[in-house]
Amino acid sequence: MKQRKNSMALPAILGGEPTLAGRFPAWPVAGPREYKNVRTVLKSGQWWRGSGTAVGVFEKRFAKVHGAPYGLAVTNGTHALELALRALKVGPGDEVIVPAMTFAATAMAVLIVGAKPVLADIDGDTWCISVEDVARKMTGRTKAVIPVHFAGQMADLEGLERLCDPRGVAIIEDAAHAHGARRNGYAAGSRGAASAFSFQNFKLMSAGEGGMLLFTDGNLFEASRLIGNCGRPFGDTSYAHLLPGSNFRMGELTAAVLNAQLDRLGTLGKKREINAGNLSNLLKDFEGIKVQSRDKHTGRHAYYMYIFEYDEACFEGLSRDQFVMSLQAEGIPAYRMYPALQDTAFYKTAAQADLRSDEDAPLSRRKAARGVWLHHRVLLGKKQALGQLADAIAKIGKSAGKIASMRQGA
């Protein structure tokens, strides 16, 4: 393991001083623009999207930034996926391929509409869905594929299009991690039949909750608007509920915040990408830490997470979870990776209910067991803090055996 100058200091988890307490910016960010926009909506008295203007403005602006002709603001990212599936008429008897390494909502939305989630493995370097494994998992019942732009790096959409388009299989981009991401000159959200974004509290643009669907097809956009507006056409005054729908509408106050968040998306995105490169350079010689590879086709990695695979064998048997707790004690916002979907309680229950259960996703299981992610606010701090982060890892590594013994004794 690479040794740095502060590696002899006592780790905070063993009683030493935290290396980075208070050194990273808070998240979410709120400034004068958020306050001004919210005050404007409050004073207007039009807090509902049916009578206000903030949601409509946000839809158009967000869609334009991501190169999509249509945008529909909704309640949250999970509802965005569910609404896209419903608009595509995915339901019982259909299969939808999702990566085994993703947040649970990607598969839950498939279950909610009555379809079967089928799990594909990921690429071990990029952590994005494997096109080759998608091809293996396809059947005559496959109706859609949901690639996740994992941690902010876009999946291989060109490869998926070559596979899906001739078969009439829809691609729904799960871009919850990928606001502003780009690949081969195009933006996240600009290629799929539908693309879902999230504005939950941790996301790269946040209003606490909220979601967006982007579309390349006007008919699918209109179908989604109808379903998400209780089956009622926008502007209707005669209660013409044309089909069973639900209320997925975003409110004006949420859009007011997000219009301000969108103003700084590009600036923060550039800063995250620069600092991610700096951090990767600092960590490149650490044994036992394998950072997510940058795909050669990536134009802009959004860096919702800074992720790496951790090998406890290089840290004297210090477990991944103990390592994460040690990072947290140093003041680093670190988290263990999502579980592989096939190992979650909800998926096991669904599989028992006669849903297809594909458990051959070994790379996803490996990343789930070894993966560590750092909150993107780490990449918004000063360059000096990145060096201190590397020092903290070296410090933990120097005392890894002691930490492992302490935690095992506890």
Active site residues: 103, 174, 177, 200, 203, 232, 239, 249
Do residues 7 and 394 lie in contact, with contact meaning Cβ atoms separated by under 8 Å? yes
A 10 A CB-CB count for 348 gives: 13
Do residues 143 and 167 lie in contact, with contact meaning Cβ atoms separated by under 8 Å? no
Instruction: Annotate 155-224 with DSSP letters as a single string.
Output: P-HHHHHHHHGGGT-EEEEE-TT-TT-EETTEETTSSSSEEEEE--TTSSS-SSS-EEEEES-HHHHHHH
Count CA atoms closer than 13 A to 399's CA, side-chain side. 23
Query: Hey, what are 214's tokens?
Result: 């982007």
Can you say whether the dihedral through the CA atoms of 84, 90, 92, 95 is positive or negative? negative
Query: Hey, what are 272's tokens?
Result: 């995250």
How big is the chain, counted in residues?
410
For 113: left if phi > 0, alpha if psi spans -120 to 50, otherwise beta; the answer is alpha
Can you say whether the dihedral through the CA atoms of 35, 272, 321, 405 is positive or negative? negative
Cα separation of the two ends of the chain: 27
Cis check for the bond before 28: say yes or no (omega within 30 of 0).
yes
- Give the residue carrying structure tokens 């390592």: 323
Query: Hey, what are 59's tokens?
Result: 């839809």
- Give the residue carrying structure tokens 């006669």: 354
**Contacts for 206 with CB less than 8 Å, ≥ 6 apart:** 27, 28, 199, 200, 257, 261
Cα 137 to the chain's mean position, in Å?
23
3-state secondary structure of 290: strand
Do residues 233 and 82 lie in contact, with contact meaning Cβ atoms separated by under 8 Å? no
